[in-house]
Amino acid sequence: MRYELYYWPDIQGRGEFVRLALEEAGADYVDVARLPKRGGIPALMRFLESHRVEHPPFAPPFLRAGKLVIGQTANILLFLGPRLGLVPKNEASQLWAHQLQLTIADWVSEVHDTHHPISGGLYYEEQKREAKRRAADFTAERLPKFLDYFEQVLKCHPRGTDYLLGKAVSYVDLSIFQMIAGLRYAFPRAMARLETKHPRLVALHGRVSARSRIAAYLKSPRRLPFNQQGIFRHYPELDG
Amino acid sequence: MRYELYYWPDIQGRGEFVRLALEEAGADYVDVARLPKRGGIPALMRFLESHRVEHPPFAPPFLRAGKLVIGQTANILLFLGPRLGLVPKNEASQLWAHQLQLTIADWVSEVHDTHHPISGGLYYEEQKREAKRRAADFTAERLPKFLDYFEQVLKCHPRGTDYLLGKAVSYVDLSIFQMIAGLRYAFPRAMARLETKHPRLVALHGRVSARSRIAAYLKSPRRLPFNQQGIFRHYPELDG
């Protein structure tokens, strides 16, 4: 099965959580909007604007797998997890993995809203005052709450389990890696202050980044750099 | 199986999407925090603060089903859907239903942030100026976008199908009912303007509210009224 990922070609964004899963599994996939020939944003728009798509996505990312078109990042990972061996086989574990992924999705939205608290349709500069206020709340209240939660999930683990769901890596671990990497880029001062209290998350980030396929991916041109158009943006004035 | 729903006892909130599914199915359930004896917020907190819960939820609602504790509204519905006969049996339909539910979850968050654009930890009055700006963008841009999307999904249907996934009601239809009801409460002027362009959604709301178990639920004391503590709040100054 060759998977087709549809996502904006110039940012990591929400698509990156899917890219990391496909890369870790060594899956056969194409990142359609980044293909030199048929790619680009028009490839996305054909799906978003066509009235002939049976299950139209509301927004990227979406994945084409044979006849299926699947939208919503966490839903894509719910689908891919068992197929790529990135989640245990029993239903209870898959529900738990998905629950954690949905909590990460909420966290991602809150990160986004630190720089766009009023509207995704306005520039950052048009909502900078509100962004400063929201980001101050995020770094003081919400960021520690999310970090504490996932640190606690790791802490409750049976001994000898390196990953969130046990001995084997799951797509949730890859997403936590991405959160820590992105938060370090966007909020280096806040993270420097908070990381000492979350040693298990820091270790998990290191463990994921050292996995052979992930390490190769991070060094490849397929890994886009963080930038000021994605979810994680570095505005020093927002990093309290 | 007796299901136990854990949610704040005084608001519809995100818990209402689960309550509607349980009610439509005539499921055996208890709304734990609203039980007179062992209920209340302490019943929730025992789960949220205990370090002995194997799969701790980040926030309410969560559902106890035998040994399972499942968090995240859409994840609860993913679990309940096939068990309550509120989603078709094939995987493709279940992924599609879940994708729609996750889009509703995003919509719910945006509704919440119209009155709390800066912080959930501050009062509305402390962020009223920002709320006016965010609500203006919501009613002008985001609300029509979400309504257009779901109207389009209904429009693409095969003829003779009354509900989002076909001839039978699904949990997604119940959630759309709740969205329309809540939006009418929170933004009556904006909705009066927009509803004429979305006749299929208006008809779906009517169809769901006329179903016998839903109609009985809505008249019962189990249905909490909308109020100024939930997701949907009516502040006339936010209803442009």
B147-171 tens-digit pLDDT: 999 999 999 877 778 899 999 999 9
The CATH classification of domain B3-84, taken from the options 3.40.50.620, 2.40.160.60, 3.40.30.10, 3.20.20.210: 3.40.30.10
CATH 1.20.1050.10 fits A91-238, yes or no: yes
**Where in chain A are all domains bearing CATH 3.40.30.10?**
3-83
Q: Which residue positions in chain B have pLDDT lower than 50?
A: none
* pLDDT attached to residue A156: 85
Ranges for all domains in chain B classified under CATH 3.40.30.10: 3-84
CB A74 to CB B102 under 8 A?
yes
Question: CATH 1.20.1050.10: which residues of chain B?
Answer: 91-211
Q: Helix, strand, coil shares of chain A as percentages rounded to 5?
A: 55, 5, 35
Q: Test B141 with A121 for CB contact under 8 angstroms.
A: yes
> Which uninterrupted H or E stretch holds A4?
strand A3-6
Q: Are residues B156 and A56, on separate chains, in Cβ contact within 8 Å? A: yes
Return averaged pLDDT per consecutive 10 residues of chain A, 240 residues in all.
96 98 98 85 83 89 96 98 97 97 98 98 98 98 98 84 93 98 98 97 98 98 97 96
Residues B214/B64, Cβ–Cβ less than 8 Å: no
The residues on A that touch B, with CB distances below 8 Å, are 51, 54-58, 68, 70-72, 74-75, 78-79, 92, 95-96, 98-99, 102-103, 105-106, 109, 113, 117-119, 121-122, 127, 130, 133-134, 137, 141, 146, 149, 152-153, 156
The CATH code for residues B91-211 is: 1.20.1050.10
Considering only alpha carbons, which residue of chain A is nearest residue B130? Answer: A130
Chain A nearest CA to B233, separation (Å): 18
> What pLDDT, on the 0 to 100 scale, is given for residue A44?
86
The DSSP code sequence of chain B is: --EEEE--TT--TTHHHHHHHHHHTT--EEEGGG-TTT-SHHHHHHHHH-S--SS--SSS-EEEETTEEEESHHHHHHHHHHHHT-S-SSHHHHHHHHHHHHHHHHHHHHHHHHH-SS-TTS-GGGGHHHHHHHHHHIIIIIHHHHHHHHHHHHHTSPTT--BTTBSS--HHHHHHHHHHHHHHHH-HHHHHHHHTT-HHHHHHHHHHHTSHHHHHHHHSTTSPPP-TTSSS---GGG--
- Could you tell me the CA-to-CA distances from B196 to A58, A69, B144 in Å, in that order? 22, 31, 12
Query: What is the predicted pLDDT for the residue at B183?
Result: 98
Q: Which residues of B touch A117 (CB under 8 A)?
A: 117-118, 130, 134
Which CATH code is given to the segment(s) A3-83?
3.40.30.10
Written as one letter, the residue type at B5 is L
Residue range(s) in chain A whose domain bears CATH number 1.20.1050.10: 91-238
Residues of B whose CB is below 8 A from A146: 58
Amino acid at A225: P
pTM: 0.98
